[in-house]
Amino acid sequence: MAKTLTFGIMHLGIAFSVTYALTGSLAISGAVTFIEPAVNTVAHYFFDRYWERREGRRSATSGEATGNTATRGDLVSA
């Protein structure tokens, strides 16, 4: 959990720094820093749904079990 938390803090710092370097605006940098992760979280939800559906179709058409037991938490902490 500490690794995930520190990565999140690093991500916010980089997002703020890059946006500030490009725009020179504290207001825009602050907005992008918090809006981008929120949009990315929603996009990730739909990304996961797409891949779950795609993998389900593949195993149904080939008769194979996917055997994938990893959860999102496993992928984040890896």
Number of domains in the chain: 1
Longest dimension (CA), the chain: 56
Is-above-0.75 flag for pTM? no
Give backbone dihedrals phi and psi of 48, rounded to 5 degrees, phi first.
Answer: -60, -45
pLDDT per residue rounded down to tens, the chain (78 residues): 999 899 989 999 999 999 999 999 999 999 999 999 999 999 999 999 999 999 888 777 766 555 555 655 555 555
* Boundaries of domain holding 38: 2-77
